[in-house]
Structure 1
C-alpha cells in the first residue's frame, strides 16, 4: 500500500468517525499531520512484520527445518519486544516520542538489510530479536503518543484507526513474501527501503514527551509502575496477548500447516491477508461501538464468537477458498483485540501510568507471540499436521471465561 493510499484512507476514516479526534478539530493541520504520519509509520511497520513471519517460515520449511524449530525461531522477534520493554519507558521520558521512533525504525531497517548477507540460523535469530526491539520502540512511542492526546470518549475510534493502519500493512506484507520465488533477497531489500523512507517522515513533526510521573526514572520504579498497572488493568492485557498468540501463530505456523495439508505458497500468501482484511473491515465500527456500549460487553461477545470460529478450523477442508473464508471471518471478530485491549487498558489505568500500561500491552503481546509459534509448531509436529486451530480457540475461550467473572471499577461500585 503506497503512502498516498494510507493517507487517503486514514483521512476518510477520521472524517467518517467524527469532526473531532483526540480533542483537536480535524482542520488543525498540525494534529492532522501528526496523526497521518504516525498512521503511515504503523502501516509500514505492520507491512514489514506481515512479510517477515511467513517469508522466513517458507524459507526454513524449504530448507528442511522442523516445524517446532521453525516456530521456536519465530519467537525471537517477540523476545526482543519483551526484553526491551524494561528499559524503553525511561528512554522515552528522557528523549521523547520522536527520537524513539527514529531509533526503532533505524534498527528495523538495518536488520532487514543484513538478512540476505548473514544467512545462518543463529544470526537470523539475533536479527529477528533486534527487529523486535526496534518495533517495540516504534510501536510504544506511536501508541503512547496517541493515548496521551485522545480523550476517553474518542479513544475507541482513534485507536481503531491506529489498528486499521497496522492491519492494512500487515495484510499486504505476506504478498511481498511471495517474491521469495523470484529471489530470497528481494523481499528483505524492498521492505528495508520502504521502512527507511517512511521513518524519515517523523522528521517533519515536533518532539513531545509523556506526562510526568511522580516516581523518578529508574528500572526499579519502572517495575513498580508495572505492578500498579497490573493491579488496575490486568484483564485488558489478555487481549494483546491473544492477538499476539494468533497473529504470530497464523503467520509462522499456518504456512507449515498449509504446506503439509496440500496448499502451495501462492495460496498461503493469499489466505494470510484475509485475516487482516477482516480486521480492517470491522476495526473502526467495533471501536466506535465499544465507545458507546463499553469495552467489556463488546469483548465478551467477540471472545465467544472468536473461539467458535477458530475451533471450526481443524474440522473444515483445507482448501484455499475455505481457509480464506475462515481467516476473513476470524479477522472480522478477533482482529480488533489489540486495539480494544489498548482502549480497555486506557479506561482502567491512571493517566500518569499510561506509559507503563502501554509497555505492558507490548509485553503481553510479545508473551502471546512467543507462546503461539512454540505451541503451534509443537502441536503441528505431534499431530502430524492435522491440528492447529484448536489451540487458538482454547486460549480465546479461557479469556471469555475470565471476562465473565471480572468486574470493572464501575461494576464494583454499583454492586
Structure 2
C-alpha cells in the first residue's frame, strides 16, 4: 500500500487540481443525466434508479480500491479511475438505452469510488488532526466549488444534444493532466495496514452514521432534486441556478467546518447542522424567491457538512497507515445511504412537498440518534466525574 514517509508530506496540487476538473464535470453530469432523459427518449421514472445504481457502484467499489492503489500507486490509480468514468459517459452517448445507461452508471459509481478514496487518502496523510481538517476542508471546497460551477452549465449549455456530454468528456480528460504532467509530491511507498474486522467496533459510531446519513441526503439531492425543482416547483429555467446554490452552500461552509472540527465535539457539530438543515427545508415550501435562495444555500451547507465532519471524526485517532482503510469504510457507509436514499425518497412522490419532507425526516432522525448517543455518553461519564 502507499503512504507518506514521515519526512515527506504528499503534495496538494495534483489531487486538488485534478479533483477540481473532475468536480466541474461531475457537477454538470449529475443534473444533466436526469434532465436529458426525455431527449434520449428515456422515461423519467428511470431517474431514481440511475441515481441508486450509481451509488450501488460506489458501494461495490469502495472495498476494492486499496489493492489497486497498493499495486499501481495513487497517481496512476487516479488516472485509471478517471478514464473508466470517461468511457462510461461515452457509452451512454453512443447507446442511449435504459439497460446500457444503468450498467454505465454502475461502472461510473465504481470509478468514482476509486477517485474519492485515492484523493481523500492522499490528502488525509497528515501528522495532526488540525492538518487533516485543513486538508479535508480544501478537498471539500475544491469538490463542491467545482460542482457548483458545473451545475451552472445546465443553464448555459443546456441538457439536449450531444454537446453537453462532449463537454463532460473533455473535462474528465483534462482532469488526468495534472497527474500525468506532475510527478513530484506524490505519496511514497511504505507499509499500509488494513483495519481488521475486529477493529471496526473501535471506529466512531456517530462517524459511520454521519456518512450513512450524508448518503441518504446527497443521493436524492443529486439524483432527484433537479427533477423536483424543474417539474414540481416550476423553475425549469432556473434548475441549474438552484442546484448551484446548494453546492455553493456546501462549498461556503467548508472553512467553517475546518475551523470548528478541531474545536467543537464533532457529534455536537453534526447535530447542529442537522437541526439547521431541517429548518432550512421549511423555506423550500414557500413562495418568496429570497427565501428559496436562502433555503437552498442552507440545505447545501448542512447536507454537505456532514461527510467531512464524520470522516474527520473517524480518522482522528488513526495512524497514517490506516487512513486508506478508514476512508474506504466511511465511503462504504456513505454508499449504502446513497443507494437507499433515491429509492426511499421516491416513495414520497405522491405526497405534497414529498422530497423536502423526506430530507427533513432524515435530518431529524439523525438529530434524535446523535442526541441519544451524546446523552448516553454523558451518563456513562457521571460516575467517573463523581469519583
Query: CA-to-partner distance for each residue in 1:229-253, whole Å, 9 max, x for gaps?
Result: 3542232022232222222212321
Q: Distance in 1 between matches of 2:215 and 2:188?
A: 27
Kindly indicate whether the alpha-carbon contact (under 8 Å) linking 2:69 and 2:77 is maintained by their aligned counterparts in 1.
yes
- Could you tell me which residue of structure 2 aligns to residue 397 of structure 1? 364
Paired residue total: 377
Q: TM-score, normalised by structure 1?
A: 0.81
Q: How does 1:336-375 map to 2 (within 5 A)?
A: 336-349=305-318, 351-375=320-344
- Distance change >3 Å, CA 234–CA 352, structure 1 → 2: farther
User: Is the aligned partner of 1:125 residue 2:102?
Assistant: yes
* Aligned counterpart, 1:302: 273
1:97 aligns with 2:39: no
The answer on 1:116 being equivalent to 2:93 is: yes
Q: Out of 184, 188, 191, which is 1:212 matched to?
A: 191
Alignment check: 8 A CA contact 2:57 2:106 kept: yes
1:83 has 2:90 as partner: no
Cα distance, 1:254–1:342 mapped onto 2, change above 3 Å: same
Q: After superposition, give the CA deviation of every residue in 1:362-397 in whole Å (9 maximum; x if it has no partner).
A: 1122222222211222311x22x6321111111122
Deviation at 1:351, TM superposition (A): 4.4
Evaluate the alpha carbon distance shift between residue 213 and residue 202 of structure 1 in structure 2; reply closer, same or farther with a 3 A threshold. closer
Kindly provide the CA deviation profile for residues 84-121 of structure 1, in whole angstroms up to 9, marking residues without a partner as x. Answer: 12221222223221121111111112222222111111
TM-score of the aligned structures, taking structure 2 as reference length: 0.87
- 1:278-319 CA-to-partner distances (Å, cap 9, x unmatched) read 122221122112212232232222122222223x156323x6
Question: Residue in 2 aligned with 1:292?
Answer: 263
- Which one of the candidate residues 213, 221, 235 is aligned to 2:206? 235
CA-based RMSD: 3.0
CA shift in 2, pair 1:139/1:60, >3 Å: same
- In the superposition, relative to structure 1, how do residues 74 and 210 fare at CA in structure 2: closer, same or farther (>3 Å)? farther
* Alpha carbons of structure 1 residues 264 and 183: separation in structure 2 relative to 1, 3 Å: same
Residues 19 and 143, structure 2, Cα contact 8 Å, conserved in 1? yes
Question: What is the alpha-carbon distance in structure 2 between the residues aligned to residue 231 and residue 251 of structure 1?
Answer: 32
Question: Conserved in 1, the CA contact under 8 Å of 2:40 and 2:96?
Answer: no
- Equivalent residue, structure 1, for 2:246: 275
Quote the Cα distance in structure 1 between the aligned partners of 2:159 and 2:272: 44
Could you tell me whether the CA contact under 8 Å between 1:307 and 1:393 is conserved in 2?
yes
Structure 1 segments unaligned to the other structure (5+ residues): 1-21, 215-221
Higher helix share: 1
| Structure 2 SS opposite 1:205 | coil
Match of residue 198, structure 1, among 163, 175, 181: 175
Query: Judging changes above 3 Å, is the alpha-carbon distance between structure 1 residues 43 and 267 closer, same or farther for their aligned structure 2 residues?
Result: same
Question: Deviation at 1:166?
Answer: 0.4
Gaps of 5+ in 2: none
Identify the residue that residue 43 of structure 1 maps to in structure 2.
Answer: 20
CA contact (8 A) 1:148 1:210 kept: no
